[in-house]
C-alpha cells in the first residue's frame, strides 16, 4: 500500500505499474517521469500552479551544484536522530526533490527502511524530482489538502514551503516530528545588497504552534561563492526576489562575474503534541 490516499474518497491508494488505484475504482496515472497527479480541480488556483519551468530548472541546477549541502547535511542529521528502523517521511512542498532524495539516501545508508513521499503543487518541478529517485513516491498536491491518511507520518519536512499547520498535525502520528526550515535574518544578504538600495533583514521569531511542542531551533550558517553569472541567475530565479526586484537591481546583478553571499537558515524542530508548543 502506498503512502497516498485518494483525493476524491479518501481511501488508500495501491500502486500498480503505471497507475494508483483505490478500492472505489478511482485511478490516477503515473507519468513517465514517475510522479502522479493528486490535485483536484477545485484545489487549483491557476491553470499551472506553483513554480514554472524556468524556476524549476533554476532550482535544479543551483541545488545540484551543492551550494546548500550544509543545510541538507543538517536535515539528514536531524531526521536520522528522530526516526526508527522503518520511518515514514513526507516532504511537503518538496520542489525539485533535492532534500527529499538526499534524506532518503541518508536513511538507506544508515540501514533504515524508509517509506518516503514528496508533494508539490507544481507539476513542472515534480518532473525533475521524480526522475531523481524512483523509490520515492511523488505527487502533485496541495500542502493544505495532503493526500495522506491521518497519523500516517513519522517525520514531516517543510523547507521554505507553505505552513499548513492543520494538515501537518493531521498526518503526523502523535509524537511525530515536524521539521520547518526558514531563512535567518541575514540569509543572502550580499545578494540583497546588490538588488536593493535599502535591503532589510528577514524577520526571525520563535512561534509556538497549537498541537506542537518545540524541541530545538538549529542554526545553519555559512558563505557560498557563485563563480559564474549562470549560477548567480539561478539563485536569483529561485528566490522571491525574482518577482519584486526593480529593474536597476536586476541590471546590477547581471553585471556581476562572481558573487559571494551569506547563507543562513533556522531549522525549527517540533514534536506533535496535544498541548500548545512552548520553547
pLDDT number for residue 75: 98
Say if 128 falls within a structural domain.
yes
Q: Is residue 8, in this structure, part of any structural domain at all?
A: no
pLDDT of 226 strictly over 90: yes
Strand partners for 178: 156, 270
Backbone torsions φ then ψ of 229, nearest 5 degrees: -65, -30
pLDDT in tens, 17-52: 899 999 999 999 999 999 999 998 755 554 444 456
Domain range for 39 is: 14-272
Q: How far apart are CA 82 and CA 79, in angstroms?
A: 5
Quickly state the pLDDT bin for 276 (edges 50, 70, 90): very low
Cβ proximity of 117 and 137 under 8 Å: yes
Confidence of residue 275 (pLDDT cuts 50, 70, 90): low
In a domain, 5, yes or no: no
For residue 219, give the CATH number of its domain: 3.40.50.150
Specify whether the CB–CB gap between 270 and 213 falls below 8 A: yes
* 123-178 residue pLDDT tens: 889 999 999 999 999 999 999 999 999 999 999 999 999 999 999 999 999 999 99
> How many contiguous H segments (helices) and E segments (strands) does the chain have?
9, 11
Confidence (pLDDT) at 197:
94
State the pLDDT at residue 243. Answer: 87
Question: Please, what sign has the CA dihedral across residues 86, 137, 4, 18?
Answer: negative
What is the structure's pLDDT at 48?
47
Residue 9 lies in a domain: no
**Residue 16 — pLDDT band, cuts 50, 70, 90?**
very high
Q: pLDDT class for 76, splitting at 50, 70, 90? A: very high
pLDDT for 92-127, tens place per residue?
999 999 999 999 999 999 999 999 999 999 888 999
For residues 219 and 226, what is the distance between their CA atoms, to the nearest angstrom? 22
Query: Does 277 map to a domain?
Result: no
Which of helix, strand or coil describes residue 118? strand
CB count in 10 Å sphere of residue 147: 26
* In-domain check, residue 49: yes
The pLDDT-based confidence of 277 (bands split at 50, 70, 90) is very low
d(CA 127, CA 125): 5
Q: Into how many domains does the chain fold?
A: 1
Look at the alpha carbons of 186, 56, 118, 86 in this order and tell me if their dihedral is positive or negative. negative
Q: Does a structural domain hold residue 279? A: no
pLDDT at 145 (0 to 100): 95
Q: Give, for 63, the enclosing helix (H) or strand (E).
A: helix 53-64
Average pLDDT over residues 228-249: 94
Q: Which residues contact 244 (CB under 8 A, 6 or more apart)?
A: none
Mean pLDDT to the nearest integer, 55-75: 94
CB 117, CB 139: distance < 8 Å: yes
Tell me the angle at which helices 53-64 and 123-132 cross, rounded to the nearest 10 degrees.
30
Amino acid at each position: 500500500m502506498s503512502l497516498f490516499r485518494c483525493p476524491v474518497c479518501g481511501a488508500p491508494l495501491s500502486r500498480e505499474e503505471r497507475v494508483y488505484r483505490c478500492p472505489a475504482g478511482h485511478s490516477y496515472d503515473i507519468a513517465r517521469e514517475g510522479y502522479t497527479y493528486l490535485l483536484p480541480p477545485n484545489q487549483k488556483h491557476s491553470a499551472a500552479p506553483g513554480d514554472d519551468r524556468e524556476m524549476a530548472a533554476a532550482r535544479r541546477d543551483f541545488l545540484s551544484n551543492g551550494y546548500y549541502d550544509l543545510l541538507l547535511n543538517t536535515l539528514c542529521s536531524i531526521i536520522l536522530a528522530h526516526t526508527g528502523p522503518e520511518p515514514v517521511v513526507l516532504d511537503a512542498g518538496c520542489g525539485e526533490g533535492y532534500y527529499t532524495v538526499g534524506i532518503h539516501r541518508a536513511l538507506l545508508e544508515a540501514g533504515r527502511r524508509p517509506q518516503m513521499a514528496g508533494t508539490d503543487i507544481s507539476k513542472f518541478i515534480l518532473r525533475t524530482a521524480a526522475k531523481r529517485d524512483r523509490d520515492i513516491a511523488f505527487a502533485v498536491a496541495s500542502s493544505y489538502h495532503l493526500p495522506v491518511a491521518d497519523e500516517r507520518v513519522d517525520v514531516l519536512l517543510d523547507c521554505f514551503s507553505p505552513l499548513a499547520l492543520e494538515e501537518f498535525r493531521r498526518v503526523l502520528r502523535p509524537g511525530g516530528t515536524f521539521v520547518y526550515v526558514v531563512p535567518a535574518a541575514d540569509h543572502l544578504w550580499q545578494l540583497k545588497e546588490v538588488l536593493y538600495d535599502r535591503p532589510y533583514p528577514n524577520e526571525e521569531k520563535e512561534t509556538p504552534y497549537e498541537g506542537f511542542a518545540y524541541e530545538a531551533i538549529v542554526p545553519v550558517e555559512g558563505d557560498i561563492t557563485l563563480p559564474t553569472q549562470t549560477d548567480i541567475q539561478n539563485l536569483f530565479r529561485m528566490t522571491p526576489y525574482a518577482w519584486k526586484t526593480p529593474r536597476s537591481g536586476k541590471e546590477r546583478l547581471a553585471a556581476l562575474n562572481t558573487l559571494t553571499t551569506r547563507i543562513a537558515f533556522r531549522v525549527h524542530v517540533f514534536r506533535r503534541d496535544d498541548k500548545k508548543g512552548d520553547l
